[in-house]
Amino acid sequence: MDLIVHSSTFLLPQPQFPADNGPSLLYALVLLNQPLPKFTPLLWNNARLRVCADGGANRLFDELPQLFPDEQALAIRKRYKPDVIKGDMDSIRAEVLEFYTDLGTKTIDASHDQDTTDLHKCVAYIRDLPNLENQNLCVLVAGALGGRFDHEVGNINVLCFFSTIRIILLSDDCLIQLLPSSHHHEIHIQSSVEGPHCGLIPIGIPSKSTTTTGLQWDLTDTEMRFGGLISTSNIVKGEIVTVRSDSDLLWTISIKKA
């Protein structure tokens, strides 16, 4: 079975990027309608494509200037111009839509589809871009956690729906990604910015057998299911965590305050 190497180098300050011997990835950033993480400018600079999910554009417009209090808000808004705004467009304010449209941002009104979330619509757009086809794509999602639980679960469902795309849900406090059972996984821990608290959670179906190394409470051919054992409040011990499982798992790890 093939191995996937994971490494949160996108959280490292630019001079060290890319740090270890992890894969060379092409990052796309999606901003959601939630308070933006403090490290959003870092993600922005590391991304090749920047997309706002509907009301995520309000967050960019309102909150990015607050991260640069010594600079003029207009200058910051012009510097942080999204490539695309996509969604059902019921949350973006008219002035924000007009501002970014005037700057040349592409807008896609997908209000006809009331069965998928704005994040789903944005990831589908990124997946279907022709010139990203052969690239090693990784979608970073800012503002995905905290707030309404139905939205959080909807965001996790996007990980499962697009299970062959690397997608990482981020907040100021933690990240979540899917570890598909189709591969073995090696997670290179960036201990300056993440850890030590972590979790491994079966998603969709129980896991009959999960085996890990590098954790304080390693699993050895262990069963995990809701209503039984799941691995929360675990702690990263080594620089590398390995995971192999017979079913898909969520990996979550805490993000350190700057």
Ligand X SMILES: Cc1ncc(C[n+]2csc(CCO)c2C)c(N)n1
Ligand Y SMILES: Nc1ncnc2c1ncn2[C@@H]1O[C@H](COP(=O)(O)OP(=O)(O)OP(=O)(O)O)[C@@H](O)[C@H]1O
**Footprint of ligand X (CB under 6 A):** 88, 114-118
In order, the DSSP letters of 89-149 are: -SSS-HHHHHHHHHHT-EEEE-TT--SS-HHHHHHHHHHT-GGGTTS-EEEEEET-SSS-H
Residues 42, 47, 53, 85: which binds ligand Y (CB under 6 A)? Answer: 53
Cβ proximity to ligand X: between 70 and 115 the closer is 115
- Measured from the CB atom, the residue of 54 and 219 that comes closer to ligand Y is 54
Rounded Cα distance between 173 and 12, Å, is 15
Contact pick of 117, 190, 231, 247 for ligand Y (by CB under 6 A): 117
The one among 8, 33, 190, 252 contacting ligand Y by CB under 6 A: 33
- Cβ 19 to ligand X shortest distance, Å: 37
Which of ligand Y, ligand X, none has residue 65 at its interface (CB below 5 to 8 Å by kind)? none
- Which SS3 state, helix, strand or coil, does residue 174 take? strand
User: Nearest approach, Cβ of 115 to ligand X (angstroms)?
Assistant: 4
**Choices 36-44, 82-90, 186-194, 203-211; region in contact with ligand Y by CB under 6 A:** 82-90
Instruction: Give the residue among 164, 155, 190 at the shortest CA–CA distance from 21.
Output: 190
**Which of 151/166 has CB closer to ligand Y?**
151
CB within 8 A of 202, min separation 6: which ones?
210, 224, 225, 226, 230, 245, 247, 248, 249, 250
Q: Candidates 12, 96, 97, 144: give the one binding ligand Y (CB under 6 A).
A: 144
CB 56 to ligand X: min, Å: 12
The three-class DSSP label of residue 153 is helix
Contact 125, 13 (CB under 8 A): no
* Site for ligand Y contains 56 (CB under 6 A): yes
